[in-house]
Chains A and B, each alone.
Chain A
Amino acid sequence: MSAAREPVKVLVTPVKVDYTYTPGIASEKFLLGLKQGKLLGAACDECGRVYVPPRGACPRCARPTSTFKELAHTGTVITFSIVRVPSDNIDVPLPYCVANILLDGADISLTGLIQECPLPDVRIGMRVEAVWRPQAEWGYGMANIKHFHPIDEPDVPFEKIKEIS
């Protein structure tokens, strides 16, 4: 086969775009809170639902969420999955558990890892608590929370969380 007929299999065209990200009023408060070891939710001006992380608007009411509330570091597993495939984004031994956790005082769940718990024991309704990294490692991100682990409290009945899950 002559060189002219060789198929073009790879063409590298690097793309680089730089951004200076500014998170907005609500997200900025949330991120500053993380740096201080706090989980801040924000309540809708109209319906009172508490969002975490807050983005500034209640998606149901399209109203601002002006009232910030410090949330507990405890919550309830709303749903979970056992991950058995590797990912470049996460440095945790396989298999591991990812869960949506409804923090006490919040009306939407956020995502976290469940550890210090045998995987077959993870269940919807299980009570968990955030395990923070050492304070010296705290930045402005959710990575400040290493994972969640179970706490010795009775499960929340499914009936009480079914609307949110």
Chain B
Amino acid sequence: MRDVAILSYAQTPYVRTERRRNEVEMLMPVIDEVVAGSGIPRREIGFTCSGSTDYLAGQSFSFVMAVDAVGAWPPITESHVEMDGAWALYEAWIKIQCGEVDSALIFSFGRSSMGETAETMTLQTDPYTMAPLGPDAISMAALQARVGLDRGLWSERDMAEVAARSRRHAKTNPDAQLKGDFDVDQLLAQPYLVDPLRKHDCPPVTDGAAAIVIAADGLARRSVAKPVWIRSIEHRLDSHQLGGRDLAVSPSTELAGKRAGVAQGRIDFAELHAPFTHQEIILRRALGLADDLVVNRSGGALAANPIMSAGLARIGEASRQIVAGQGSRAVAHATSGPCLQQNLVCVLEG
């Protein structure tokens, strides 16, 4: 295996609605910043891979247009996944492992504000037997939260505490969208949005983009002062049929975490992609993280949920915190699909 490191991370500030700029206009400064930070000239980066979905823009092949922000002349080697950018990073990592390239630019983007995000997410379910029933993203998460509540695996207070802590952490993240001090009792006094979820249990609607540059071995060491090494990266998935899963646990996260060797060393902090409060509890348990471990210092997806970037952002945030000296070994996680269906886990070291 080749040693592969994150050289740089950049993102837009997270906002509820990006009114002025289109995707390309949002991405250009992010790509500029991440390439400048990588120390590798743009035209020398070996591979470009992006993660996005046309369903957010309501426009087919919107990802092709986004390549304008990268500069595809002379023609570049480029790929795209209709998944969170974390999976684009996985593809790029594989490409480097295969020895085809030594460096890669990964980016992801989305303007959720243009559509009804929760309802758009219905379309990722089985189009014949499930989508016509119209379960939206929040309703599906509510089914999952109910399973754990009724089984006594977590309480509504546990969930509210995740929300309060995420927003408190977000106060130190200038790019976060929802931040501040919230009293758990006051949160619990709020009405249900989709029983048993209250508004604070759900992520905000966020527009945003993120980008990462990775490189192998010597190139990584020569290019930046503090490369953040991707020691392992694994992803697994559970059934797309919600009825075919035990929603209170996440076997795919557990397996990915084991394969990634999460437990084979001290973990200083974690960035977990949990768009709903109860999902952070599921993920902590699946990864075997200590109760007092710092999770989502960035505020996580509950403070800003740029769909298609929120997973890549967890990896980027974790690398940024390692560079800032806030720990030397971290777990970063990304999820995709309803109710934590697919999960990617990586271990980063400074």
Residues on A close to B: CB < 8 A?
A: 11, 13-15, 17-27, 55-64
Please tell me if B153 contacts chain A, counting CB pairs below 8 Å.
no
Which B residues touch A62, using CB under 8 A?
28, 31-32, 42, 68-71
Please tell me if B20 contacts chain A, counting CB pairs below 8 Å.
yes
Closest to B32 in A: A62
* Interface residue from B31, B69, B111, B120 paired with A17 (Cβ < 8 Å): B120
Which B residues touch A57, using CB under 8 A?
24-25, 28, 68-69
CB distance from B307 to the nearest CB of A (A): 14
Q: What are 26 contact pairs spanning A and B, CB under 8 A?
A: A11-B128, A13-B128, A14-B132, A15-B127, A15-B131, A17-B116, A17-B123, A18-B116, A19-B114, A20-B115, A21-B114, A22-B18, A22-B20, A24-B23, A24-B24, A25-B20, A25-B22, A26-B22, A55-B24, A55-B65, A56-B25, A57-B24, A58-B71, A59-B68, A59-B71, A62-B42
Docked complex Cα distance between A131 and B99 (Å) = 55
Please tell me if B90 contacts chain A, counting CB pairs below 8 Å.
no
Docked complex Cα distance between A15 and B70 (Å) = 33
Which B residues touch A23, using CB under 8 A?
22
Closest to A8 in B: B128
Please tell me if B266 contacts chain A, counting CB pairs below 8 Å.
no
Docked complex Cα distance between A12 and B50 (Å) = 33
Which residues of B1-52 are within 8 A (CB) of A?
18-25, 28, 31-32, 42
Docked complex Cα distance between A94 and B128 (Å) = 39
Please tell me if B205 contacts chain A, counting CB pairs below 8 Å.
no
Instruction: Kindly list 7 other residue pairs between chains A and B, CB separation below 8 angstroms, not including A11-B128, A18-B115, A57-B28.
Output: A14-B132, A19-B115, A56-B25, A59-B68, A59-B71, A64-B25, A64-B28
CB distance from B93 to the nearest CB of A (A): 23
Query: Assuming A13-B127, A17-B116, A17-B119, is B20 touching A55 (CB within 8 A)?
Result: no
CB distance from A49 to the nearest CB of B (A): 11
Residues on B close to A: CB < 8 A?
A: 18-25, 28, 31-32, 42, 55, 57-58, 65, 67-73, 111, 113-116, 119-120, 123, 127-128, 131-132
* Interface residue from A15, A20, A25 paired with B114 (Cβ < 8 Å): A20
Docked complex Cα distance between A27 and B62 (Å) = 15
CB distance from B266 to the nearest CB of A (A): 41
Q: Is the CB of A61 within 8 A of B71?
A: yes
* A18, A56, A62 interface centre (most CB from chain B within 10 Å): A62
Docked complex Cα distance between A153 and B110 (Å) = 47
Q: Is the CB of B123 within 8 A of A15?
A: yes
CB distance from A40 to the nearest CB of B (A): 16
Closest to B31 in A: A62
Which A residues touch B68, using CB under 8 A?
55-59, 62
Q: Is the CB of A24 within 8 A of B20?
A: yes
* Interface residue from A17, A25, A56, A60 paired with B115 (Cβ < 8 Å): A17
CB distance from B105 to the nearest CB of A (A): 11
Which B residues touch A17, using CB under 8 A?
55, 58, 115-116, 119-120, 123
* Interface residue from A14, A22, A59 paired with B22 (Cβ < 8 Å): A22
CB distance from B136 to the nearest CB of A (A): 12
Closest to B74 in A: A60
Q: Is the CB of A22 within 8 A of B25?
A: no
CB distance from A25 to the nearest CB of B (A): 6
Query: Assuming A22-B114, A56-B28, is B131 touching A13 (CB within 8 A)?
Result: yes
Which B residues touch A56, using CB under 8 A?
21-22, 24-25, 28, 68
Docked complex Cα distance between A64 and B21 (Å) = 12
Which B residues touch A22, using CB under 8 A?
18-20, 22, 111, 114
* A23, A56, A63 interface centre (most CB from chain B within 10 Å): A56
Docked complex Cα distance between A24 and B115 (Å) = 16
Which B residues touch A26, using CB under 8 A?
22, 25
Q: Is the CB of A59 within 8 A of B20?
A: no
Closest to B17 in A: A22
Docked complex Cα distance between A111 and B172 (Å) = 50
* Interface residue from A14, A18, A20, A60 paired with B71 (Cβ < 8 Å): A60
Docked complex Cα distance between A57 and B131 (Å) = 37
CB distance from B137 to the nearest CB of A (A): 13
Which A residues touch B23, using CB under 8 A?
24
Which B residues touch A64, using CB under 8 A?
25, 28
Docked complex Cα distance between A56 and B114 (Å) = 19
Docked complex Cα distance between A25 and B127 (Å) = 36
Docked complex Cα distance between A77 and B255 (Å) = 59
Which A residues touch B131, using CB under 8 A?
13, 15
Which A residues touch B71, using CB under 8 A?
58-63
Q: Is the CB of A59 within 8 A of B25?
A: no
Q: Is the CB of B21 within 8 A of A19?
A: no
CB distance from B226 to the nearest CB of A (A): 26
